[in-house]
Structure 1
């Protein structure tokens, strides 16, 4: 009898605990330059309880290694394509757009995992993620991982927290990665906004990114899944910009997910302004030839009560030519220059479009042991833009004087061991372009350390630029930027594409040529010698008839 009462209490407790789980989903659509459409799917699962056995919505397969390894938070991002900051502005939120795979995690001190070394827990976590998302994360080890400040990759990180971080720039994205992500959702891909995610549509876009972010709170867990794409739907005439979900994703919303508490689609579109005043507004019937600047409005569609296939009429204006929707005041790039087998040159280019405000930026780069920067070769040069400033603008000469490199940190890499890291604090004056260059030495590899297959060089992980505490609402931009939205216009982090580093390669064909030559020689010599040794010579009589 006591066992039955305990079972009843356990079932009731499970129901009560399950009631604290929530699931929200959203889709944001916005137009970009060149007739492109940016779509961002966001799925958030939250629980106020940390007992994995009572979860009804949160994925246990994902959180089981998180709990057993004492992981406080982690994020896995798989990205294909290149995000254009100059044309598309900033991605949504703090989304990572680093090409390939990016993994970071922070670990806490728990009783069940305190005796396990941190590197072992890190390898076990990446192995679990590799199995869950069918990704080739086995290459992550001590030689590809580094400890970074948490603020570089995690905005909500607690103070004095460091994370383990790793890049795999050559990792590809395919359907085998996206399908396991959809299976973590309560309704999978059969209902709700997730039903719009079609493999052939997502993977054929110009840019696609999928990410999973899980973190532990004092009382529960939060899992955030995201899928972002930049695609170019079929071009329409200039006077017809109304698109439906089927035209964008090749599918409609068949039904809403009954478990979702909130499900909505947000449409972000530009609003045309005829002049510089904030009171003159026009609708979308304005001709493109009329001079105008752009603001952004937002329309919200609630999709929690859909019970039939629905075609939502979406008003998206994506001009092929014309102003962009977002202007980022800071542009940053990294290039590998030079030639030869021993040395190369790295050039950083940062452009500040603010009129009066100096920007402070942190440049962070992870360097494998095959690359060694020469710190004494660091050089910074500044070039000013030719622009007419407003009459009430005051410039100070100190802003344009050196030094432009305010701080320098370098952690050397261990030869054939751990990765190194380089961090520079940069000061970019207003309306100027800063060029920073430094030389690097490329170490030679042993013949057995080269990757198999055709040689293409080695991938240098993406570099990271982090603007420091800049608020667009407190600064003055150029004349063409005065009517930009005050919302996020500057990316919280700027990722550069991965760079291809040419390394010295020995002539691998020579050993094979020698092997083939000697094999042929030995075969001919041994065959001829054996033939002479074993052949018997006898007289043969031939009778003539």
Structure 2
């Protein structure tokens, strides 16, 4: 178990195994974030990457020594981020939701009306100074939000209040920097007017960013910071206009697309397309973790360039899975030449028949395959503007605490890209049959139990058998009943007439 000794180091109890440490860690982290991380505490859902996910510590002595047997990697692709995770995540922020950028998260339902959002938490050991004479722990929290400001026709304005439901409550007093950055890339398509005016502008690699310093009291009004943007959206569709201005658009250096192939409930495959836009040779690390119920065939692995040429990985690590014990793991280094815009990685698998108690509560929803992970070092950005590096990635050997020193940034830019998660339907039995059998069995038992209950609870007695009457006797009985009823009516009529006569005589005497 990890024990907190001071602000700079952890002590690991030697008597506990790595799996026990991993199980304890995911349970504690799941409790802190209200997440279902207890599903990844077993060996069937976790693996030990050999090359990927190296320690991101900036301490040189620790970054050089690496034993992958002490590393565990797991993912829950079917889990989504909800308010149950956002609420405890906000408590890690210095000012909670009272001040700073986190004050925009007070209205949580408003946040979940947007198109996409994600939460991130990075925890590593870093150097406390440039000479790395001492170390400390760095906790980095990130929230990614994607909002479609063109969703409503005719809408030509957006603001912090329209997106998050309120303005920012000033800067957090515990923070050194509280800045808001606006990318003016869309200003090449139409005119944009920001209110209020920005403090200063950053230009790098043909892109322009305006910066608002929330610590500047001139940008705040009554203790709050408000930001709005008006744009002259043309009548032409935005996407058509962007298509006509491809030369002004900047594509990502590296992006990936992943999908499944095949049909039926027996065999299938996975294809991953990696697009490389820079005009330089790129070396990347590709990592796949496949659940054990998808039996991967390594001999079907193919790496094909866009021109149809097959290439071999520079280095390959393959750990076959084992039923109900460990997942499949594929790691390989791939070099993409500068003149090759895309590479396709494909392999095939066989679906396994699961036991009935191994299916989730919604078996017909399908089973998820975790996202592929691609790690690489991209060409360096403008060293004069280190903030662009922080907005896109972070350095492996430098800390965010040293970001104020522009000369301290190295030329390497490490990024890690996750592809799409895949949803595959395994051979699923008809789970309605047990329900049908239960209904049929209960019906049969109910019918049998009714007769058996009558036989065991009712008291039997001897009853003399009545003689059966013929048709003539039934007619005589009916005629006798008719005559009796007729006599009853006549007697009733006579009584009524006698009562009326007596009443008239009484009135005559008076």
- What TM-score results when the alignment is normalised by the length of structure 2? 0.68
2:47 — aligned with what?
Answer: 146
Name the CA distance, whole Å, in 2 between partners of 1:256 and 1:353.
38
Secondary structure in 2 aligned to 1:251?
coil
1:115 Cα deviation from its structure 2 partner: 1.3
1:362 Cα deviation from its structure 2 partner: 2.3
Structure 2 residue 496 is matched with structure 1 residue 496 = no
Query: Which whole-Å deviations, capped at 9, do the CAs of 1:203-228 have from their partners, x for residues lacking one?
Result: 22211011222224554322222111
Name the CA distance, whole Å, in 2 between partners of 1:246 and 1:522.
64
Name the CA distance, whole Å, in 2 between partners of 1:406 and 1:150.
13
Name the CA distance, whole Å, in 1 between partners of 2:35 and 2:187.
44
Change over 3 Å in CA distance of 1:416–1:231 after alignment to 2: same
Name the CA distance, whole Å, in 1 between partners of 2:230 and 2:50.
42
Query: Which residue of 321, 345, 367 maps to 2:269?
Result: 345
Name the CA distance, whole Å, in 2 between partners of 1:237 and 1:532.
76
Q: Which has the higher strand share?
A: 1
Name the CA distance, whole Å, in 2 between partners of 1:332 and 1:415.
30
Name the CA distance, whole Å, in 1 between partners of 2:445 and 2:333.
64
1:432 Cα deviation from its structure 2 partner: 4.1
User: Over alpha carbons, which structure has the higher Rg?
Assistant: 2
Secondary structure in 1 aligned to 2:19?
helix
Name the CA distance, whole Å, in 1 between partners of 2:436 and 2:176.
68
Query: Which whole-Å deviations, capped at 9, do the CAs of 1:395-415 have from their partners, x for residues lacking one?
Result: xxxxx8653433322101222
- What TM-score results when the alignment is normalised by the length of structure 1? 0.64
Name the CA distance, whole Å, in 2 between partners of 1:283 and 1:529.
87
Query: Which whole-Å deviations, capped at 9, do the CAs of 1:229-268 have from their partners, x for residues lacking one?
Result: 0112366999x96643223322112333222222221222
Change over 3 Å in CA distance of 1:216–1:272 after alignment to 2: closer
2:471 — aligned with what?
Answer: none
1:303 — aligned with what?
Answer: 214
Q: Tell me which moved more, 488-497 or 502-511.
A: 488-497
Mark the runs of 5 or more structure 1 residues left unpaired by the alignment: 1-64, 74-107, 275-281, 286-293, 385-399, 475-484
Query: Which residue of 244, 264, 272 maps to 2:179?
Result: 264
- Structural mapping, 1:473-492, within 5 Å: 492=415
Change over 3 Å in CA distance of 1:124–1:344 after alignment to 2: same
* Higher relative contact order (CA closer than 8 Å, sequence separation 6+): 1
CA RMSD of aligned residues (A): 3.8
- Structural mapping, 1:85-484, within 5 Å: 110=11, 113-141=13-41, 142-149=43-50, 151-152=52-53, 155-156=56-57, 158-161=63-66, 162=68, 163-197=71-105, 198-217=107-126, 219-233=135-149, 243-270=158-185, 295-304=206-215, 305=217, 306=220, 308-313=223-228, 320=239, 321-322=241-242, 323=246, 325-355=249-279, 357-384=280-307, 402-429=310-337, 430-467=339-376, 469-471=377-379
Name the CA distance, whole Å, in 2 between partners of 1:457 and 1:283.
47
1:338 Cα deviation from its structure 2 partner: 0.9
Contact 2:50–2:317 (CA<8 Å) still a contact in 1?
Answer: no
